[in-house]
Structure 1
Amino acid sequence: MKEQTNIPTGKVERAGKFVTTGLKVGTNYLKHYSKKLMNPSLSKEELHADNAEDIYETLSNLKGSALKVAQMLSMDKGMLPKAYTNRFAMSQYSAPPLSGPLVINTFVKTLGKTPNQLYDKFNMQASNAASIGQVHKAEKWNKALAVKIQYPGVANSVKSDLRIVKPFAIRIVGMNEVDMDKYFDEIEGKLLEETDYQLELKRSIEASAQCAHIPNLVFPAYYPELSSDRIITMDWLQGFHLKEFLEHNPSQEIRNAIGQALWDFYQFQVHALKRVHADPHPGNFLMREDGTVAVFDFGCIKEIPEDFYINYFLLTNKEVLKDEVRRKEIYTNLEMIHPSDTEKEIVFFSGLFQKMIDLLTLPFTVDSFDFGDEMYFSEIYDYVDYLYNLKEVRESKVARGSRHSLYINRTYFGLYSILNDLKANINTSQARIQSMIHI
């Protein structure tokens, strides 16, 4: 893969890249509609593919928050045309890497020495490159190490990048720009945390220790003396990213073991710790053929407020939701319905949300669940598609859902997606969850 010798860091330069991309996208639309005059049956697939390619090329070269938004969108399979999700998924672990001189410069600036002065061996060629940083393999103390290096200018460009990328995200997803600030404020806060490698190092050490008892999970050791505000050094762990792992045709037993480990990992964090690894994309896990899974990258952690937690998980209790007054109270607390709603709007949106809740909480209401059930996921995606095309939803004057739901929903959606790809059949019983909490 071609390396990058520089990353645009100035606001004007980064904004200029988006203007150029906007012109390309506009040209793609003109080309599409010109072809459609000749062939009225032409679908939008080619248009989506061209737009996805042009937008991804810009985001992958800008790195940082811009690319991170693409990564987040790639996980929402029911939200975007397939061409976008497929292309944006590349941001999870295969964006263009930085060149050697930029890597050395980061070491000298933050640790005062070159990689060759700090490690016995250091591979200048990146093993993986994603949105916020890239990973190199090194050796020291007769150990294989993974060294994560943050891209230059990432932290300083978060605010300006989000202002630039917001219209793109809204246009791609098809939302109106109504009351969206609370969500983008949440995203901005999380992205700023992700650029704080000292905070990530602290959280990684804490979370690894707290979750070490969960069967079939493996965590790296971290090395503060070889880390800085833009570098994190940890053990190099063996394993495969999800796509590679599945190419090895693992047995159902191994798929189930890994799926169960991931389910337990997330339930323990959410219910016992009230904070969760909120970046569950395949690039943050390594699957292994012995049924274990390695977990790393605790840069994105969502703290769960107690009142939100209580109301959110009442949604999994069918008996509570049968009480119409109680249900309305929960929906209001979670900002799914608003005090300004008319009675007609309350009835309408409550019905829509109840159907989605019934679908998404199904695994919590049974003792075991087969995440390989494609009909289940098709029903979810079809219903999401139906919601996004409803006039009443698209023209709603308020954004529905607490800001806290953004990363919690994303966490569960990402987990479900990985379990679906694994075709894992696992124990999802309340008894299992309670046992994880009280270990």
Structure 2
Amino acid sequence: MSMNKEQEKKLDEAIKEAFPMADQVDWEDVYQRIIYKYSTPHGLQHVKEELYKLEDKGEILVHHVKPMYNPVEYQSLNGLPKKIPTTKLWHHKSCGQCGHIPGYPTSVFWIMNKLEIDYLDEPHQTSCTGWNYHASGASNPVALAGVYVRNMWRAYETDYFPLIHCGTSFGHYKEMRNMIILHSEIREKLRPIMRKLDMDIVVPEEVVHYSEWMYVMSKKAAQQKKYNLEGVKAAVHTPCHIYKLVPEDTIYDPEVYQGRRPAAPSGTVKNLGAKLVDYSTWWDCCGFGFRHILTEREFTRSFALFKKVIPAVEEGHADVFVTSDTGCVTTLDKSQWVGKAHGVNYNLPVLADAQFVALAMGADPYTIAQIHWHATDVEGFLRKIGVPVDDHKEKFLQYLHDLREGKEETQYLYPKHRKIDFYLTLPDRVKWYKSQQK
């Protein structure tokens, strides 16, 4: 349907309001830097076609997104629908989250408990070894593929679908998936290794990041919202390893920035009622980058402050910075003290989207979101939205005191040894498959 001049004018005004910094972006440069440079050479559709062909030939096993996972489809960058499972989820946790931002994964689990989602917090998962891959280059393709398949096999045999917490693991695993499918020499070297572990090559039909699940479920989560976020201005940083590694596998939604930026975590923030604010350096890395956080740490710290935090505050007038990856939360949050030491004090609270949603739903700021692990002052932001921070803090300190005195039992997000049967036994389908290999 063609538009008249008045309709075109209104559309232009709406886009300009949503993208006040759009005039500063060279979109051809964006396409050259992302779409062409980092996309799969043969295209995602080709990868999926090859995946099913290999399954038909018996060369690999495919962990399909079955109806029991209640999948929801969203369009990926190249137009293909991506199936996002919403229940029976196998959690591939993040090293950095569990070690440095523990309120990040606990918020994910807490939200799933509130939404009554069936999930498996896997105790036998290993690291994706992304540090080797991105930081030191100490590994090799077969070893990286072996780690990926070993974790995916574990999800496959439990019949729960893998949900990846770490943005780096997510991007890394998409690359490993494509490499295994497109290169027979990798499969030939990988198969005997996996057979020694009594496993075989299994590839999930989709590689899914938790933030994609969070976006799909965010409207449902918003129905349980306890605090009003309408007055909150939120700047979003979309992690590089989520949408710049195999970018065509990232989900987009016309409701989020007219489909011009990834759906998550911007759409999640929007669905919880906060106002998204734009800033000129939305494209840039947070500064973490793996290698330079190790070798050029002061570059990382200054980049995070001057290229991300300051523009978000001065241009977007943000109250909070929301992102969805381990390194991004850590860098944007814990780099600000360096500026403070030099008299540059912006103190912009930084939260993962899961923490942001959980807090809005009424999660305890200390036992669940664990904001006391953050370097920035999250308490001020929480007071702004009406959270009784002092009451929560008093109860938390009392809880810690009682734990030390032996007067209190440790609180758990779920009963200890939940679903222990999946740790000790295998579904019949996998038992049958193993018997065929003898």
Q: TM-score, normalised by structure 1?
A: 0.26
State the structure with bigger RCO (CA 8 A, min sep 6), 1 or 2.
Answer: 2
Q: TM-score, normalised by structure 2?
A: 0.26
